[in-house]
Chain A
Amino acid sequence: MAFTSLAFLALVGAALAVYSLAPRRLRWGVLLLASLTFYWLGGRWTVGYVFYTAGTVYLSGLALGRLNRLRREAPPEERKAVAARCKKQRRLVVLWACLLNFGLLYFLKYWNFTAEMLQPLLDRLGAGGQLPVSHLLLPLGISFFMFQSVGYVIDVYRDKYPPERNFGKLLLFVSFFPQVVQGPISRYDQLAPQLYQGRDLDWDQLKYGIQLALWGYFKKLVIADRAAVLVETVMGDPWSYGGAVQAAGVFFYCIQLYGDFSGGIDITRGVAQMFGIQMAENFRRPLFSTSLTDFWRRWHITLGAWMRDYLFYPMSLSKPLGRLGKWTRRHIGGTLGKIIPTSLATFSIYFVIGIWHGANWRYIAYGFWNGALITLALLMAPWFAAWKRALRIDDRAAWYKVFQVLRTCFLVFLGRYLTRAPRLLTALWMIKETFLHPQLSDLWNGTMLTLGLTGFDIGVILAGMAVVVAVEWYQERGGQVRLTLERQSFFVQWLAIAVPLAVLFCLGILRGEYISSGFIYQQF
């Protein structure tokens, strides 16, 4: 069930009505029912995967909770021995939870890619036979709900909070309908209490939620779905166009991706807010990032935070990297010797983030691109600082900030060739064409109007993005859109809902020859 369908709006409306009428202690059950209905209508029997994940993390959580309790309640004289015994068992439980979930994720998402890579090798070795290929459908949002669920198990392992004893409630945490298909990847201690609280509907929260969801629909229906037409045309057959049009295709893909993903998250957070539930922020104005590291702090924040807390920190503080650190300090010394282990962990994380997007050489290259640039920036930091001093560049100067933002946009733009071109080699060829054979005249000789969009539509996309950038610029400078609206009259506040609704209706639905194609990130 797509967020952009009338069925989804009907589901949200019905859930809100039943939720408000239900007794407070049963309201989480209403959310669970709505969530299972949502997933069932979108993926039918693949809802079984949600039960599988919830079941494995539920049982793991209970086992870890019991071991944590044993350790805490042991008499002082036995505490050390019990802790050592429990440590082994706790590690085993968390390992099994990870294997059961990530193992299945690997099979569903990466096995066919692995088989494709291994088959020629086996053939060459004369092993014979054909590696089996999975024909199972990839369940919607599987990476999102699995990462969120494994995060819960690791937190219980770390004794951050006790496990959830009610399976239904944990199932709701795993499957909460606004977020199950494309995140954000929530933390149990932040989201679950709000889901179970069953607070009364509040007019202000309802209004804020509607406004946020409308903003999301604007980004998705008016901007992203329009841009998708041009992107499909160029990327479907890049060989027919010159480098400049290919670059335009990637540029519009950047717009599409941002409108699609951040718009979807706004809808998610808006719908949750209608129920009085505040979800984690997933975007913090990434268009204003001053470096690639800064970009990843602002784009898909919850995935980055997940990688940081559950992968980067443990890896950085692990014994092997600790030993490596000691070695590099002794043998290499200086800043370089100190940061080599951190750089290695950093590279690995961005590599994993790339692969997280899917099983394809393009995503592997994308991870490599981000990991290599960020690691290089880390290793080169002392030189950069020296150059800046020599050139007397003031970090705080406005022109330097603008330069940093444009530089980051350019690096992100180059990375997008890798994720959107049909194949990795095509992406590399397109980058070459963009710089060596741009055929710039294609941008104004009418070629742009043969890509599925009229001049008016291209204008709508660019004007829409200008509005998004203006709003984000206002926020970046500390402005709070909601507070500003709150200070206006009741009439103006309603206009803030009615105008986007009218724009949506006229530009997103009436001119709806662009079929809304679901969200890009739900396939991850």
Chain B
Amino acid sequence: MEKLMQILTEACPGVEFDGQTALIDDGILGSLDIVTIVSEIMEEFDVEITVDDLVPENFNSVQAIMALIEARRG
């Protein structure tokens, strides 16, 4: 989780991630942020995230992003 938080705060400085549950639905993260975050996650966690994973439910909260990483780790 710490590694993920570091990626998120570096990719989107100024965004308060703690306690957020609608990062996409509320427009806090845009498509550019998502792609930057996903590229970092793939690099740092060595997982493959596909276009099909890029849905709001997977990026609305830090927990959801972590769950996606865990799922892709198999």
Which A residues fall within an 8 A CB radius of B? 158, 293, 297, 308-309, 312-314, 316-317, 322, 325-326, 329, 338-339, 341-342, 345-346, 378, 385, 395
CB of A116, distance to nearest CB on chain B (Å): 35
B6 at the interface (CB under 8 A from A): no
- Contact flag A325-B39 (CB < 8 Å), given A293-B30, A308-B31, A312-B31: yes
> Given the interface contacts A158-B51, A314-B51, does A338 sit within 8 Å of B32 by beta carbon?
no
The prevalent SS among residues of A at the interface is helix
Given A293-B30, A313-B51, A314-B51: A338 and B39 within 8 A (CB)?
A: yes
The B contact surface, by secondary structure, is helix
Our pick among A293, A309, A316, A395 for the contact of B35 (Cβ within 8 Å) is: A316
Name, among B31, B40, B52, the residue most crowded by chain A CB atoms within 10 Å (CB to CB): B31
- A342-B43 CB under 8 A given contacts A313-B51, A317-B49, A317-B50: no
- Asked if A313 and B32 make an inter-chain contact with CB atoms under 8 angstroms apart, the answer reads no
A341 partner residues in chain B, CB cutoff 8 A: 39
Shortest distance from the beta carbon of B48 to any chain A beta carbon, whole Å: 9
Which single member of A293, A322, A326, A329 contacts B32 (CB below 8 Å)?
A293
A-side contacts of B39, CB under 8 Å:
316-317, 322, 325, 338, 341-342
Alpha-carbon separation in the docked complex, A314 to B52 (Å): 9
B30 contacts A317, CB within 8 Å?
no
- Interface mask (B37-55 → A, CB under 8 Å = 1, otherwise 0): 0111011000001111010
Chain B residues whose CB sits within 8 angstroms of the CB of A346 once the complex forms: 32
A sample of 14 inter-chain contacts (CB < 8 A) reads A293-B32, A297-B27, A312-B35, A314-B51, A317-B39, A317-B49, A322-B39, A329-B43, A341-B39, A342-B35, A345-B35, A378-B32, A385-B13, A395-B14
What residues of A have a CB within 8 angstroms of the CB of B38 in the complex? 316-317
In B21-74, the 8 Å CB interface with A consists of 27, 30-32, 34-36, 38-40, 42-43, 49-52, 54
Contacts of B51 in A (CB 8 A): 158, 313-314, 317
| Closest-CB distance, B40 to chain A (whole angstroms) | 7
Closest partner residue, chain B, to A297 (CB atom): B30
Greatest chain B CB density within 10 A among A313, A314, A341, A378 is at: A313
Which of B30, B36, B42 counts the most A-chain CB atoms under 10 A from its CB? Answer: B36
The number of chain B residues touching the other chain, given as a range, is 10 to 19
How long is the Cα–Cα vector from A159 to B4 in the complex, in angstroms? 29
Shortest distance between the CB of A392 and any CB in chain B (Å): 16
Q: How far is the CA of A313 from the CA of B59 in the complex (A)?
A: 14
Q: A293-B32, A317-B38 are in contact. List 11 more A-B contacts (CB 8 A).
A: A158-B52, A293-B30, A317-B39, A317-B50, A317-B54, A322-B39, A325-B39, A338-B40, A339-B36, A342-B35, A385-B13
By a CB distance below 8 angstroms, the chain A residues around B52 are 158
Which residue on chain A has the smallest CB distance to residue B48? Answer: A317
- For B14, B32, B40, the residue with the greatest tally of chain A CB atoms inside 10 Å of its CB is B32
- Chain B residues near A345 (CB-CB < 8 A): 35
| Distance to closest chain A CB from B34 (angstroms) | 8
**In the complex, how many angstroms separate the beta carbon of B38 from the nearest chain A beta carbon?**
7
Q: State the Cβ distance, B73 to closest chain A Cβ, in Å.
A: 17
Give the distance to chain A from B11, nearest Cβ to Cβ, in Å: 8
Chain B residues within 8 Å of A313, by CB: 31, 34-35, 51, 54
Whole-angstrom distance between the Cβ of B68 and the nearest chain A Cβ:
14
Question: A310's closest neighbor in chain B, by CB?
Answer: B51
Chain B: minimal CB distance from A275 (Å): 27
Complex CA gap A378/B30 in Å reads: 13
Nearest chain B CB to A523 CB, angstrom units = 28
CA distance A173 to B74 in the complex (A): 38
Distance between Cα atoms of A341 and B14 in the complex (Å): 23
Cα separation A508 to B35 with both chains bound (whole Å): 46
- Please measure, in the bound complex, the distance between the C-alpha atom of A345 and the C-alpha atom of B39, giving whole angstroms: 13
